[in-house]
Amino acid sequence: MSRNTSMTIHRRGLLLGAAAAFAMPMPSRSETAPRALVARPGKAQLAPEGYPETEIWGFEGQAPGPLLRARQGARLQRRLMNELPVPTSVHWHGIRIDNAMDGVAGLTQASVAPGETFDYVFDLPDAGTYWYHAHTNSYEQVARGLYGALIVEEPEAPDVDREETLILDDWRLDHETAQISGDFGAWHDLSHAGRMGNIITTNGSFILQRAARTNERLRLRLINAASARVLTLSLAGLEGWVMALDGMPLARPIAAQDTLLLAPAQRMDLIVDVTAAEGETAHLAYMDDDGKWWSQVAWDITGSAASKPRPAPGALPPNPRQAVPGVAGARTVTLVMEGGAMGRLQAATYGGKRLAFRELAERGQFWAFNGTVGRTDAPLVKAALGDTLRIRIVNDTVFPHAMHLHGMHFREVMKDSDSLGPLRDTLLVQRGETREIAFVADNPGDWLFHCHMLAHAAAGMTTWIKVARS
């Protein structure tokens, strides 16, 4: 398959070492227009065979959009060309990016009108699994397919036979026509768990068919692009390790559990060995609400790659700036999440006015952070450049929320101890839970901090953090 071919070339190229990579001619910005990334309508066979194709919105008309790959330290340049009927913008999720390139319409840039373009040019400081997606009316645009994977390669790739980037999504399609339901912003979705779909795809396919060999070692880069659904996943006929979360390598690989939880926007890098025997099929499976497992990716085992499994892999090379020092004495901000159906929110401030829950609902707003609905001119917190900050997140709702911080990764401050969790950019906070994060505010600019259940973000769960420029 072409993916295999390109992987072989890729690994051979790496043997040339970093010097060769940097010796490659890089066109300067002024001379060459960046390569295009066209946002436009397209069609995709999302539903099983026999159903019609689904009309989507996608980068290059595909869902997922093209897989972007670059080396750590490289500069990525893409000219967004908007051929959609609506304004859009692109957010490069998880990249420690220059604020002006963050893609948040109304905060870091104006949205790009139909027929217009915007040049995204930024450096990639960290290796890992990232993704890009529309950040204008995200709850509709991401759900229509405007997203893709962004892979930043380590200078020295881990020793695997090949890798697969697997983007999972949850679509709401009409049962007969297989078209995307146009009920964006439906009251029930906004006020409950978000816009849940009825069909899960991997790389845009209902089921992905692959081949593999016993004892083959694969790197799987999982990305949850769903607008709302927390995915419960499992491996069958594959055993291995979690290597990285949200792009960032773990200090020590962790043996992959029987079930893997992936909240919207989260990523997980695995290295797995094929344990299934010839003639069997290995799976990445998804568990539905009734506890039934469904194969998302099926690897038919044809032959054997080695007679015995390899020793456990070492950690992936660390990214720069992984430390979060000074947590003990850091300033702490509390963020109380309230609202939603069956919640306790009576009233909150929206557009400068105090409104009762019913009045908020009439405006399509259902959630509040610290009594305020949606993003206002005042940030949640203003940080001095280089400060360490702690945010205590209190989920006083009956739904889970996947909180995403733009521009910087954080670590979770673990309960009753000083230990810190892995670096992440999206944290799943279950109903009723209180969790705390800490990060170094080392990236100047205005950074969104919001729930990645995108209907929640649109219905009130959005705030921002200001990091001073000096």
Binding site residues, ligand C2O, CB under 6 A = 91, 93, 133, 135, 265, 404, 406, 448, 450, 452
Q: Which does 381 bind (CB under 5 to 8 A by kind): Cu ion, ligand C2O, none?
A: none
Q: State the nearest-atom distance from the C-beta of 104 to ligand C2O, in Å.
A: 6
| Separation CA 171–CA 143 (nearest Å) | 7
Q: State the nearest-atom distance from the C-beta of 463 to ligand C2O, in Å.
A: 11
Nearer to ligand C2O, 222 or 272 (CB): 222
Nearer to Cu ion, 56 or 451 (CB): 451
- Using the rule CB under 5 A, which residue among 63, 95, 230, 451 binds Cu ion? 451
Q: State the nearest-atom distance from the C-beta of 342 to Cu ion, in Å.
A: 14
Nearest to 125 by CA among 322, 325, 383: 322
- Using the rule CB under 5 A, which residue among 133, 172, 401, 435 binds Cu ion? 401
Q: State the nearest-atom distance from the C-beta of 452 to ligand C2O, in Å.
A: 6
Residue 221 is a binding residue for Cu ion (CB under 5 A): no
Nearer to ligand C2O, 37 or 178 (CB): 37
3-state secondary structure 275-306: CCCCCCEEEEEEECCCCCEEEEEEEEEEEECC
Q: State the nearest-atom distance from the C-beta of 264 to ligand C2O, in Å.
A: 8
Nearer to ligand C2O, 65 or 253 (CB): 65
DSSP 8-state secondary structure symbol assigned to residue 73: T
Q: Which does 133 bind (CB under 5 to 8 A by kind): Cu ion, ligand C2O, none?
A: ligand C2O
| Separation CA 244–CA 232 (nearest Å) | 17
Nearer to Cu ion, 381 or 393 (CB): 393
Q: Which does 200 bind (CB under 5 to 8 A by kind): Cu ion, ligand C2O, none?
A: none
Q: Which does 96 bind (CB under 5 to 8 A by kind): ligand C2O, Cu ion, none?
A: none
Residue 411 is a binding residue for Cu ion (CB under 5 A): no
Nearest to 118 by CA among 37, 31, 30: 37
3-state secondary structure 216-277: CEEEEEEEECCCCCCEEEEEECEEEEEEEECCEEEEEEEECCCCEEECCCCEEEEEEEECCC
Q: State the nearest-atom distance from the C-beta of 452 to Cu ion, in Å.
A: 7
Nearer to ligand C2O, 215 or 224 (CB): 224
**Residue 87, φ and ψ in degrees, nearest 5:** -65, 155
* Residue for token pair 């930024």: 122
List Cβ neighbours of 234 (8 Å cut-off, separation of 6 or more).
258, 259, 260, 283, 284, 285, 286, 287, 293
Residue 456 is a binding residue for Cu ion (CB under 5 A): yes
Nearer to ligand C2O, 406 or 424 (CB): 406
Residue 404 is a binding residue for Cu ion (CB under 5 A): no
Q: State the nearest-atom distance from the C-beta of 260 to Cu ion, in Å.
A: 21
Residue 453 is a binding residue for Cu ion (CB under 5 A): yes
Residue 217 is a binding residue for Cu ion (CB under 5 A): no
Nearer to ligand C2O, 134 or 301 (CB): 134
Nearest to 190 by CA among 228, 134, 164: 228
Nearer to ligand C2O, 298 or 453 (CB): 453
Residue 390 is a binding residue for Cu ion (CB under 5 A): no
* Residue for token pair 């072409």: 2
Pairing status of strand 293-304 against strand 208-214: parallel
List Cβ neighbours of 337 (8 Å cut-off, separation of 6 or more).
367, 368, 369, 393, 394, 395, 396, 397, 401, 429, 451, 461
CA Rg, the chain, in Å? 22
| Separation CA 167–CA 238 (nearest Å) | 18
Q: State the nearest-atom distance from the C-beta of 258 to ligand C2O, in Å.
A: 28
Report how far Cα 432 is from the mean position of its chain's Cα atoms. 24
Per-residue tokens: 33: 């227009």
Q: State the nearest-atom distance from the C-beta of 66 to ligand C2O, in Å.
A: 18
Nearer to Cu ion, 105 or 457 (CB): 457
Q: State the nearest-atom distance from the C-beta of 60 to ligand C2O, in Å.
A: 19
Beta-bridge partner residues of 221: 165, 269
Per-residue tokens: 138: 């995200």
Q: Which does 404 bind (CB under 5 to 8 A by kind): ligand C2O, Cu ion, none?
A: ligand C2O
Beta-bridge partner residues of 75: 123
Q: State the nearest-atom distance from the C-beta of 406 to ligand C2O, in Å.
A: 6
**Residue numbers of the site for Cu ion (CB under 5 A)?**
401, 451, 453, 456
